Structure formats: C-alpha cells, structure tokens
Amino acid sequence: MQEIQKARLPQLWEYLAKKAPLYLPQQEDGVINFAPWQEGARVKLESLNTVLPPKSIVFPQWETYLHFTQKARELKLTPTKEPEGSYILFGVRPCDVAGITVLDRVFLQDPVDVFYESRRRCTIISLACNEPDISCFCSAFGLEPGFAPAADIMLWDGDKFLLWQSLTEKGETLTHSLTDLLEVPTPAETESVQCLRETAATVQEQKWGLDGVKERAKDMFNAPIWDSLYRRCLGCGICTYLCPTCHCFDIGDFSRGERGERFRCWDSCMYKDFTLMASGENPRPTQKERVRQRFMHKLSYFPAQHGLYGCVGCGRCVRKCPVNIDITQVIKEAGGSISCA
Amino acid sequence: MKEIMQKMRAEAARVLSSGEVDLVLGWEKGDLWWQSYPVFIENEKKAELLTWDLFCVPNLAKYLLEEIWHKKRVALFFKGCDALGFNQLMQDKRVDREKAFIFAVPCSGLVDPQKVERAGLHQGLLRVERLGDELTFVYKDREKKTAAPWFYYDKCLTCRYPNPVVFDFMLGEPVPVNPRERFTAVKELEGQNVDARFQYWQRQFSRCIRCFACRNVCPACSCRECIFDLTSPRWLGKATELSENQFYHITRAFHMAGRCVDCGECARVCPVQIPLTSLNRKLIKDIDELYGPYDAGVDPQKVPPLVTFNPGDPAAFLESKGV
C-alpha cells in the first residue's frame, strides 16, 4: 500500500494527463460530471456520485461508427477508427465500477462490441466512499462502498492523503511509474483503511436482505404494484440515462446530399417510441408496461440472463426522478427486507 | 402545514364518499425526507395517504391529460404555480374545468433538496418542518433551525402567484405575496455581447441528455403528438449533438412564448441544471416589453398577445431590416 498527499494531487493529475487522457469528476455550472482534465480544472473528488455515471465515457451517449457516401449506384462505407482505449478514469465510486462490470456482461460477450471493448482498455482508479448518501444502497447488491474489486487501483480518503492500492497488473504498472509522487504510509495509516471500509459499510444505515428477490421478481409481471407505480411516471428518460447499467441504444443516420454518417445513441425504455414498430403496433402501449420493463429487467431478466442484478444501488434514479419513483420500493415489494442499523 | 394536511384528508374523503368525484389527486409521503410524490386515490379509506409538506412540488394538473381519467371527475390540490398551469391547459382546450374539483393550497414556498445538500444538512436528515419563516431540520439525535427562504426553490422566491388563481374550495388562508425580482438573471445575460451569450447557451445546451423531463413536466407542453417524438419524419435526431440540442430547446422555448406560466418545473426537473427559466423568462420579458404586461395562466379568458394582431403592434424587426 502507498499514499499520496492531497496537496500533490494536481501534480499527479498533470503527470497522468501527459501519459493518457485523464477523466475525473469536475464541476461546470454547478454540475459535476466526468470530464477530461486540463490546467485549471475544477476537480470535485469529494462529491459522491457525478450526475452522469462514467458509463458516459466507456459507452458515450452517441458515437459515429460508419461514414457513407453514395454516388449514383455506388455506396461506399468507411468504418470509423476504433476509439482510443488508453485513458484513465480517476475517482470512480465503487458502485460505478460495478456498473461498468454490468455493462461488460452485455458488450463483451459474443458478439463482442469492438468499440466498447476498445474503450474498456482504460485504467480505472476508484475512490472509496467514506460516507455514503441516504439514498445509496450498493450494499443491497453485495457491493461495498469502501472497495471496488474490479478497479485497477483503489483509493481511500484519509483526509489529508489518499491511500493507494493497486489491484491489477495494469494498476501496478501505473503505480510503479509514480514513485516520485507516492509515499509509504505509516502502519497506522495502512490500518485505517480497514476502519474506513467498515465505517462506510455501517454508515449505509439500511441493511438489505435480497434473498430470493430475483426469483420472486420473476413472478411479478402481473403484480398490482405496476398499476399504481406507473401512474405518476412522467415518461422522461432521467432514470435510464443516469443509470450506470442501462445500456439500450438505437441506431440513426445523419445525412446530407451524398454523404452521411451512421451513429448509435442511448435510447430509453421509458419512451413510447422505444418499442414502436413500423406497422404502428406497440407491444408496450402504455407507461405501465414501460415502467414494469425497467424494473423487471434490473431485478429479474438481467439476473436470469447474466447471473447478477442489473442495479448497483448508486441511487441516481432515486435522487433524480422528478416524481420520486423509487426502485427500493419495488425491491421491497419483491420481498427484499430492510432493517436499519 | 399539518392543519392543512388534516383538512386535505378530510375533504378528500368527503368528496369521494359523497360521489362528487371518482378520483382525488394529491401528494403522498415517500420513505426519504425529500420524497413527496403524486398519488391517485379512488377510495376514501386511502385519503390518509395524503400529505402536505415542504416537498409537495410536482404539479398535478397535467395528469388530467391521461386518457384513463378523461371520463372521470377528478378532485385535485393546487398550489399557486399549479393553478397557473391548469389555466394554461384550459386555455389550450386540453382540460375540462367542469370535470375538475379544485382545492386551493396557498403556498409560501417549498424546499429545494439540492440547497439542503449544498449546505451539507442532508446526511442523516429525517424530516424538515416549518414554523412561520423558520425551518427545523430534524435528525435522529439533534435539530437545526434556520431561516426558511435560504432553502426555498429559486422559483418560489420569485413566485408572484402563491395563492391559486382558480379553485372551488380554499384550504387555509391566503399567504402574503412578496416576490423577488425575477428578471435579474435575464438582465445579466442581456448585458453581455452576442458572442458571450452564444457561448453561454452553447455550454448549457451541450450538457443536455435529451431526457425530455422538461417537456414532459411542462403544463404548456400538451400537444397530443410532439414534433420531437415523431419518427417519420424524424425532425429531431437522437444523437445529442450540440446543434440538435439547440434545435430542441430553442424550438420548445418559442413554442412556449406567451404560454409559459413561469412555474419553473422545467428547471427543477432538469438533471443537468440547464437554466431553462432564464430562456423562458427572456421571452416573457420581451413579450411584456413589446405588447404590454401579460401573465400566462392567470386569466384563461384573456386573449394572449401572440395569438392576436393589432395594427399598432410594434414591428421593430421589420423596420430595422428596412423591409
């Protein structure tokens, strides 16, 4: 284990940014999102969740993957170059790291999504949560606010310094290149990590028991909860777009005259045109079916297909839904138990 | 507020049991301190679910557009801003005044959870109460008292109609009207040169994720089919490219001109804090200056300035071009 003094972080960022594009949480106009570091960046490490999850970096909201030109009867297709994958994501919270591993299940299984795979070559430096928010519930899914097993490097906030532990070979290599900036912590500081991990886990007051939830969720297709829950839904896409695991996309074209480009972009199962077919038929005709789909996908379909829940408990949808539609209420309905510490 | 909440529950039970209405639309308390969300009550026994607290911010009027309620008589609770939205829906011939039974709830301001968070008062918070102009933040083992306006939504601080302008039954006493100047941000923007303004709005719109929450919550956005949802032709591409984002927001703002009731809901629900209030208020201010003061949603009988023509209407945009 090593550590870096917080006062030296700007030096670290400057150094890292020279090696590879460096994305970290920054504030602009009051909004904190992952953005490329540059001189004078307003880095906000202490904020818990960024508005958009780092999903927006590994799986951007839209990207062009093909250029085309059409002259007379000749159609020419030029695939876009694979995106750069050697960037660094710094300060990713453990729930968001887990969110990326959920995306991996979708995009890295056969047929592998080459754009995602390329972007996924990035290095992830995770920052443990010392004090999770009241709306955080990552522990419900067996995750730990104080540790992200899928990160390359793990950091813990020790007030004046960040404790630094590499978890992978990639993390180790990067760590080795930083000998000028990293220091050896005192044994007491090293020990404090355990304490930070435990405290973070206890601060998350609600203790969830999810035994059997995914099995029971399977039988919830006709449950009465959907009849009441959907009524207040505005049909906006906040919950899906802010979700670190939602990954549905659509494909569209920009074209002008003889040339154009084909892009893919996030899409939302909350929108009525999401399942609208060319014939005009819509298998999810009302908001009830759409709301049900989102929760069933997270709690039943995704676990059935991939063996893990499609929710990491980051709490973004809980915090940002304009009408407080709350996935934890659905989990309780599916038999999830909850007790306060 | 508790007294009004008791009245809400009693009145809701009364109108449901008497058969005056089929449905009551109000707010219900969630598990977390900031959660007060719309609830649909069809059985008088469920009237106890109703709540009235500092977080009952969603406007209930727009739910009347849902087809399942079209044939029903609905009772609903309005704050001042909600009533303006209802009047706009009425002016647009989208709701039927006769089918709605309106309870007015005068409102002296609601609490913005983001301001509570920014002040660092959110951790461990159980609930927030108000007595006069003072808020009490209640935690497990302590309390904190503070001046209420610090934590009100900006839109509440500039609210000019806290007392509903349309209702059948008033719950509680009208509250004093004491709005702050609402055009401050607009004037500040107007003072900048065109390049600075353009850059400012480009930066704002570039954050848009096209979740459409601003449109979906807006009481003046009531088209049966929205241009931005059309798939054939698809006027608005799905990529969140800056020019597409600009097209969306500017088109919507122009469609709101003379119809925006300044309820501020668009800015409240925006997850990336695009200052839509400034955009809409710029149009309100321009209309006020060009055609005389007009407040959408106050009087549905009044002819809105942009749907009529007077020979004396200013036409500076024509003259300056020398047409």
Please identify which residue in the block is written with the tokens 């703002």: B253
pLDDT at A339: 63
Residues 312-331 of A with CB under 8 A from B: 318, 320, 322-326, 328-329
pLDDT mean by block of 10 residues, chain B; 323 residues: 95 97 96 96 96 97 88 95 97 93 97 95 93 94 96 97 97 95 97 96 97 98 93 89 96 96 97 97 95 94 90 77 47
Can you tell me the distance from the alpha carbon of B278 to that of B136, in angstroms, rounded to the nearest whole number? 31
Asked if residue B271 lies in contact with residue A268, where contact means CB atoms within 8 angstroms, the answer is no
Confidence class of residue A113 from pLDDT cuts 50, 70 and 90? Answer: very high
pLDDT at B264: 97
A237 burial level (CB within 10 Å; 0-12, 13-18, 19+): buried
CB contacts of A322 in chain B (<8 Å) are 58, 213, 217, 268-269
Asked if residue B306 lies in contact with residue B258, where contact means CB atoms within 8 angstroms, the answer is yes
Q: Is A202 on the interface with B (CB under 8 A)?
A: no
B239/A252 CB distance under 8 A: yes
CB contacts of B240 in chain A (<8 Å) are 61-62, 265
Give me the domain span that covers residue A181: 2-340
Q: How far is CA B288 from CA A157, B113, B281, in A?
A: 53, 32, 10
Q: How far is CA B178 from CA A32, B161, B170, in A?
A: 33, 9, 20
Q: Is B179 on the interface with A (CB under 8 A)?
A: no
DSSP for B94-108, please give it.
-S-GGGEEEEE---S
pLDDT at A210: 81
CB contacts of B43 in chain A (<8 Å) are none
Asked if residue A150 lies in contact with residue A99, where contact means CB atoms within 8 angstroms, the answer is no
A131/B207 CB distance under 8 A: no
Higher-confidence position of A244 and A209: A244
Asked if residue B143 lies in contact with residue B136, where contact means CB atoms within 8 angstroms, the answer is yes
pLDDT at A249: 97
Confidence class of residue A62 from pLDDT cuts 50, 70 and 90? Answer: very high
Per-residue pLDDT tens over the stretch A323-337: 999 999 999 888 877
β A161-166/A2-5 pair status: antiparallel
Q: Indicate the number of domains in chain A.
A: 1
Can you tell me the distance from the alpha carbon of B274 to that of A266, in angstroms, rounded to the nearest whole number? 20
**Closest approach of A162 to chain B, Cα-based (Å):** 22
pLDDT at B323: 38
Q: Is B320 on the interface with A (CB under 8 A)?
A: no
Please identify which residue in the block is written with the tokens 């909440």: B5
A273/B231 CB distance under 8 A: yes
Q: In the Cβ-directed half-sphere of A105, how many Cα atoms lie within 13 Å? A: 16
B123/A133 CB distance under 8 A: yes
A29/B123 CB distance under 8 A: no
Q: Is A263 on the interface with B (CB under 8 A)?
A: yes
Q: How far is CA A206 from CA A128, A254, B32, B143, B183, in A?
A: 18, 47, 12, 22, 44
pLDDT at A341: 44
CB contacts of B124 in chain A (<8 Å) are 134
Q: Is B110 on the interface with A (CB under 8 A)?
A: no
Asked if residue A65 lies in contact with residue A59, where contact means CB atoms within 8 angstroms, the answer is no
The minimal CB distance from A29 to the residues B66, B203, B268 is found for B203
User: How far out from the chain centre does Cα A288 lie?
Assistant: 26
pLDDT at A336: 79
Helix (H, G, I), strand (E, B) or coil at B323: coil
Selected for mutation to probe chain A from B59, B209, B278 (highest A CB count within 10 Å) is B209
Six-digit token string for A260: 């154009």
pLDDT at B244: 95
Can you tell me the distance from the alpha carbon of B292 to that of B113, in angstroms, rounded to the nearest whole number? 36
Q: Is A42 on the interface with B (CB under 8 A)?
A: no
B204/A29 CB distance under 8 A: yes
CB contacts of B63 in chain A (<8 Å) are 231-232
What is the count of residue pairs from A and B with beta carbons less than 8 Å apart? 113
DSSP for A233-300, please give it.
----SHHHHS-SS---EEEEEEEETTEEEEEEEE--TTSGGGS--TTS--SS-SHHHHHHHHHHIIII
Confidence class of residue A205 from pLDDT cuts 50, 70 and 90? Answer: low
Instruction: Check whether the bond before A111 is cis (ω within 30° of 0).
Output: yes
Can you tell me the distance from the alpha carbon of B116 to that of B128, in angstroms, rounded to the nearest whole number? 10
pLDDT at B320: 63
**B207: nearest CA partner in chain A:** A31
Confidence class of residue A248 from pLDDT cuts 50, 70 and 90? Answer: very high
Q: Is A237 on the interface with B (CB under 8 A)?
A: yes
**B219: nearest CA partner in chain A:** A234
What mean pLDDT is predicted for residues A265-280? Answer: 94
A237/B211 CB distance under 8 A: yes
A236/B210 CB distance under 8 A: no
Q: Is A61 on the interface with B (CB under 8 A)?
A: yes
Phi, psi (rounded to 5 degrees) for A67: -110, 145
Six-digit token string for A41: 């960046």
Six-digit token string for B166: 């349309």
DSSP for A123-136, please give it.
EEEEE--SS--TT-
Residue A115 has pLDDT above 80, yes or no: yes
